[in-house]
């Protein structure tokens, strides 16, 4: 359903849409090889002048396929590092070594690599993953500030929302624990999680959330086609992630004039001017997160001006038209 909707929308713009199968978080080499072969076939058929890859696997295999076909200009966008870089398990450490090797091989075929925050750009340089490749930092993927606009001027008081895939490295456990702490002091405060579970090994399941749902600590909403109606009903947006590129969910919340509580980590810190439109808290620290959220409960007069500052920030820095222009200026 969603794929057909995207295809029809692209067709109205005169864009040819070719669906391909990819296991985003899988590590089956045969599946990845099939993805590479498919990309080679598509590129041979369509013969584009420019290839722009987006996210981990497309950047790796898309760069290799484009080089093999002889595409004249290849660019990739690093949208974040994911649990493979932030995880502390043996599996994530092994996968991190493998992904770094794949990046080192594939990114050298690129004419340009985009990063969504300066910390990721610096890390890739330090690891020699973008040696002798031009790089540029862009302000995330941008957000349509004309589409994401707050209409409800009286959202539920003391309502906090987390939006994203239900992954541990998104800080969902810390959000739940902070909600437990605050719920005991402020029983009328509400805490909502909106987002799907995932095949990522770092994902929680709905069963993992069951105890805090049944006890009334959090409200859980599965993914919805239009997140705007849900954001419009909440006051404060919370993302306690361990690391991001530039989180699109936060950009949407900024555009909806919401104060932000997020972690002082790469990708997240770019979305907050602490003390102006939100607060930066320590990653993996439930108490620090709860304290940041509590500020908007005990200082309710801050909610509206902080939300207005969020809107001003996103319009001046993260509007999708500005971001697209900065990308296209490099590709044309």
Q: What is the pLDDT of residue 1?
A: 36
Check pLDDT > 60 for residue 86.
yes
Of the pLDDT bands very low, low, confident and very high (cuts 50, 70, 90), residue 5 is confident
Cα separation, 292 vs 285, in Å, equals: 11
Q: What is the pLDDT of residue 178?
A: 97
The ranges assigned to domains in the chain are: 2-137, 159-317
Q: What is the pLDDT of residue 203?
A: 76
Mean pLDDT, all residues of the chain: 91
Of the pLDDT bands very low, low, confident and very high (cuts 50, 70, 90), residue 69 is very high
| The two structure tokens encoding residue 94 | 């092994």
Check pLDDT > 50 for residue 2.
no
Residues 11-23 have a mean pLDDT of: 88
Check pLDDT > 70 for residue 313.
yes
Tell me what percent of the residues of the chain surpass a pLDDT of 70.
Answer: 95
- Same topology, domains 2-137 and 159-317? Answer is yes
Task: Count other C-beta atoms under 10 Å from residue 287's C-beta.
Answer: 13
Residues 44-71 have a mean pLDDT of: 96
Q: What is the pLDDT of residue 82?
A: 67
Taking only the tens place, the pLDDT of each residue in 179-232 is 999 999 999 999 999 988 776 667 777 777 888 888 889 999 987 768 999 999
Task: Count other C-beta atoms under 10 Å from residue 228's C-beta.
Answer: 16
Residues forming beta bridges with residue 77, ordered by sequence position:
54, 114
Check pLDDT > 60 for residue 160.
yes
Give, rounded to a whole angstrom, the gap between the first and last alpha carbons of the chain. Answer: 33
Instruction: Give the CATH number of domain 2-137.
Output: 3.40.50.2000
Of the pLDDT bands very low, low, confident and very high (cuts 50, 70, 90), residue 110 is very high
- HEC per residue, 17-66: CCCCCCCCCCCCHHHHHHHHHHHHHHHHHHCCCEEEEECHHHHHHHHHHH
Q: What is the pLDDT of residue 220?
A: 92
Cβ contact 114:76 at 8 Å: yes
- Taking domain 159-317, whether its CATH number is 3.40.50.2000 is answered by yes
Residues 62-71 have a mean pLDDT of: 97
Q: What is the pLDDT of residue 83?
A: 61
Of the pLDDT bands very low, low, confident and very high (cuts 50, 70, 90), residue 87 is low
Cα separation, 40 vs 253, in Å, equals: 38
Of the pLDDT bands very low, low, confident and very high (cuts 50, 70, 90), residue 3 is very low
Q: What is the pLDDT of residue 206?
A: 73
Check pLDDT > 60 for residue 292.
yes
- Largest CA-CA distance found in the chain, in angstroms, rounded: 62
Tokens 């902080």 belong to which residue?
Answer: 306
């Amino acid at each position: 359903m969603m794929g057909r909707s995207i295809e029809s929308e692209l067709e109205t713009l005169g864009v040819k849409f070719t669906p391909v199968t990819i296991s985003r978080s899988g590590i089956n080499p045969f599946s990845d090889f099939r993805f590479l072969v498919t990309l080679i076939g598509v590129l041979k058929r369509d013969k584009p002048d420019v290839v722009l890859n987006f996210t981990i696997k497309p950047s790796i295999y898309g760069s290799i396929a484009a080089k093999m076909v002889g595409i004249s200009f290849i660019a990739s966008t690093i949208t974040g590092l994911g649990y493979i870089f932030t995880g502390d398990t043996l599996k994530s450490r092994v996968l991190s070594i493998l992904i770094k090797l794949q990046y080192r091989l594939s990114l050298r075929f690129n004419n340009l690599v985009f990063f969504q925050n300066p910390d990721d750009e610096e890390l890739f340089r330090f690891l020699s993953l973008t040696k002798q490749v031009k790089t540029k930092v862009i302000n995330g993927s941008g957000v349509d500030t004309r589409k994401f606009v707050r209409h409800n001027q009286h959202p539920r008081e003391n309502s906090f929302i987390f939006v994203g895939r239900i992954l541990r490295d998104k800080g969902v456990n810390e959000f739940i624990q902070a909600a437990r702490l605050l719920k005991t002091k402020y029983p009328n405060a509400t805490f909502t999680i909106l987002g799907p579970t995932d095949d990522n090994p770092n994902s929680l399941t709905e069963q993992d959330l069951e105890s805090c749902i049944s006890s009334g600590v959090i409200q859980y909403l599965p993914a919805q086609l239009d997140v705007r109606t849900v954001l419009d009903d909440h006051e404060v947006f919370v993302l306690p992630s361990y690391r991001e590129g530039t989180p699109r969910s936060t950009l949407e919340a900024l555009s909806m004039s919401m104060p932000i509580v997020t972690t002082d980590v790469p990708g997240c810190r770019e979305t907050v001017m602490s003390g102006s439109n939100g607060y930066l808290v320590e990653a993996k620290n439930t108490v620090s997160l709860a304290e940041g959220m509590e500020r908007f409960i005990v200082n309710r007069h801050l909610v509206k001006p902080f939300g207005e500052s969020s809107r001003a920030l996103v319009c001046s820095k993260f509007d999708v038209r500005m971001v697209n222009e900065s990308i296209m200026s490099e590709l044309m």
